[in-house]
Amino acid sequence: MLRAALGWARDLMLSVVIAFIVIIFIYQPVKVEGTSMMPTLVDQERIFVNKFIYRLGIDEIKRGDTIVFWFPFDQSKSYIKRVIGIPGDTVAIDRGTVILNGKPLKEDYVPPEYRDNFSMPEQRVRANEYFVLGDRRNSSNDSRTWGLVPRECIYGKAVFVYWPLTRIGPLK
């Protein structure tokens, strides 16, 4: 009986260590706060962020990725937004329509009721920086307001919704 209890304790301890390593180094649970990414993400939703994918170069940051980053002007705050422009791109906004590299960007993830009439002159995305926008444009604080996100501020990619259970699944 003692041997069985010790085996059980060993297995439990190993499971806790593995879970700790996964949560600390690979996937981090995050609570969404705010409505700027609706309808993709909603306020108080729980998601997993893959912190490993960009750090080790397993994947590059791409247009359309939903990233989590430290706010460039106050790194005690974490933001989540969609990547629109990558280094070398030009981005402009004409009455709410994003113009990427001279062509209107098709954005099926932004419903008409979440669009705005904001305009912004064309700008080039510099090396190691990214242009990001929230999906709910009429209530998002993003690159239109405070500029580009430096690569060193980006710490992960949002990959999976785990709460509420009605929305569980991979992030699209």
pTM, 2 dp = 0.86
Tell me how many domains the chain contains.
1
Q: In the chain, what is the greatest distance between 2 CA atoms, to the nearest angstrom?
A: 74
Active site residue 81: yes
By residue range, what is the domain housing residue 98?
A: 30-170
- Would 9 be classed as within a structural domain? no
Among 36, 51, 140, 157, the active-site one is 36
Cα distances from 8 to residues 16, 28, 119, 168, in angstroms, run 12, 27, 62, 31
CATH number at residue 91: 2.10.109.10
Positions in the chain short of pLDDT 70: 22-26, 56-58
- 10-30 pLDDT per residue, tens: 888 877 877 777 666 667 888
Q: Is residue 99 part of a domain?
A: yes
Contact 68, 171 (CB under 8 A): no
Annotated active-site residue in 51, 81, 143, 157: 81
Whether 157 sits among the annotated catalytic residues: the reply is no
> Is 7 inside any structural domain?
no
Confidence at residue 1, expressed as pLDDT on a 0 to 100 scale? 74
Domain assignment present for 8: no
